Amino acid sequence: MSEPAPRLPGATSDALTPFSVAERPLGAGPLQWFGLLAVAGAAILADQLTKHIVASQLVLGESVHVLGPFSIRHVQNTGIAFGLFAGATSLVVVLTAVAVVWMLVYFGRSGARHPVLPVALGLVIGGSVSNLVDRVRLGHVTDFLYVRWWPAFNLADSFIVIGVAMLLGTLVLADRTAASGADAPAARP
């Protein structure tokens, strides 16, 4: 009995098995980590600085009209969005810390998957950590951006919302791109 012919790279016998699969690491590299940490650090710095300015210049409950329905109002919030879980600071601290750790692990494993991830997750993590620092240090978060028809919020909240919107937008665009590629007719040789 003769020995089977050696398999050549890229050759398959069933015509269904792909012979070339481009592989690239999906885990975050040094450049992605630098981007994430730079964005998160800038978000924390900006949020903490603005909260300090508001807390040192306005007494609790004081408001300064800026333009139209927009004011700067010094408010303390022990809960999360819209005052949910007010008074449950310990629970909010634990849940936030778990979420931040999960995002860091996810980023470590998938940070190179899309170029928007360092910025988007940097905003979400920076905003979350900044509010977490306030909850641990003060037992509350200082909110100050007030629009007449919306509860007061801060820069950290804005960063979180912008980061999540970027992530969702990226997912929607990626899904549309993949769907349009699947609908395209196959190229003929």
Indicate which residues carry an active-site annotation: 143, 157
Backbone angles phi, psi at 114, to 5 degrees: -150, 140
And the tokens for 1? 């009995």
Four-residue CA torsion sign, 55, 60, 65, 69: positive
H or E stretch covering 89: helix 89-110
177: tokens are: 């791109």
Q: How far apart are CA 34 and CA 39, in angstroms?
A: 9
Token pair for 96? 């936030």
| Alpha-carbon torsion (162, 168, 171, 177), positive or negative | negative
